[in-house]
Amino acid sequence: MSLCLQARQLSCERDDRSLFKGLDLDIRSGEIVRIEGPNGSGKTSLLKILSGQLSDYEGELFWNGAAMQSVREHFLANLLYLGHAPGIKSGLSPLENLAWYQALSGESTGGQGSGAQEGEEQRLDALEQVGLAGFEDVPAGQLSAGQQRRVALARLTLTPRALWVLDEPFTAIDRHGVAALERQLIRHAQAGGCVLVTTHHELAASSLLRRIALG
């Protein structure tokens, strides 16, 4: 199914200052869209508006051609948002954090018996894919900033959602992690997903990559 997130005449102000005005966007399946601009230009605010977290704006949003308010449930079922902060609980292990994420978003955590074992195996596999094998049961508060970021990034593998909205996902991860994440973004777009991202990291040139400048 082809997906499309659209914004029409989007405007936003913060502290009596205009961040952007009259912005039109079309984000479609098979694209990696990088939002660029200097600090304070509204990149994070734009991502939060597009992911339904901010309502203080003017303009209209559409999902697959329908007004957002009429299809919000379907939109949220296709959305995975990772914010600038990792958003993990320091007292929980990486394994427990992923189970918490799943429960919070209404996903099945595996239930009991064989289902529970399968759910845990999926979480272990997601952590292994981001280089956290051996750290599954370490309290997240004892992990480095880069490892905490990887816990959040494991959700990209664990949670199958078509639209990824990612705010500075490369923060604090090493060059191997950066390269692996870039490949993952490309695979997701090639499979028909959409990626909307802000980053200070210079993404490798790709026919899938499109840039939108703010400020």
- Residue 117's pLDDT is what? 80
Structure-model confidence comparison of residues 113 and 210, the more confident one: 210
The answer to whether the CB of 7 falls within 8 A of the CB of 164 is no
Confidence of residue 108 (pLDDT cuts 50, 70, 90): low
pLDDT mean over 6-19 = 94
- Residue 192's pLDDT is what? 96
Burial of 63 (0-12, 13-18, 19+ CB in 10 A): buried
- Residue 111's pLDDT is what? 55
Domains of the chain in start order, with CATH, are 1-78+161-215 (3.40.50.300), 90-156 (no CATH)
**Looking at residue 204, what DSSP letter applies?**
P
CA atoms within 13 A on the CB side of 48: 12
Extended strands (E) in 44-142: 58-63, 66-67, 79-82
State both tokens at 12: 């936003």
Per-residue pLDDT tens digits for 139-162:
999 999 999 999 999 999 998 899
Confidence check: pLDDT of 18 > 60:
yes
* C-alpha closest to that of 45 among 148, 179, 207, 198: 198
> What type of residue is 75?
F
* C-alpha closest to that of 185 among 68, 74, 30: 30
Q: Among 27-41, 76-90, 110-124, name the one with the lowest average pLDDT.
A: 110-124
- Residue 210's pLDDT is what? 96
Q: Are strands 163-167 and 194-198 parallel, antiparallel or unpaired?
A: parallel
First to last CA, the chain: 34
Per-residue pLDDT tens digits for 26-38:
999 999 999 999 9
C-alpha triplet 155, 128, 120: angle, nearest 5°: 65
Q: At which residue do the structure tokens 């990486």 appear?
A: 94
- Residue 112's pLDDT is what? 54
- Residue 105's pLDDT is what? 79
pLDDT mean over 12-40 = 94
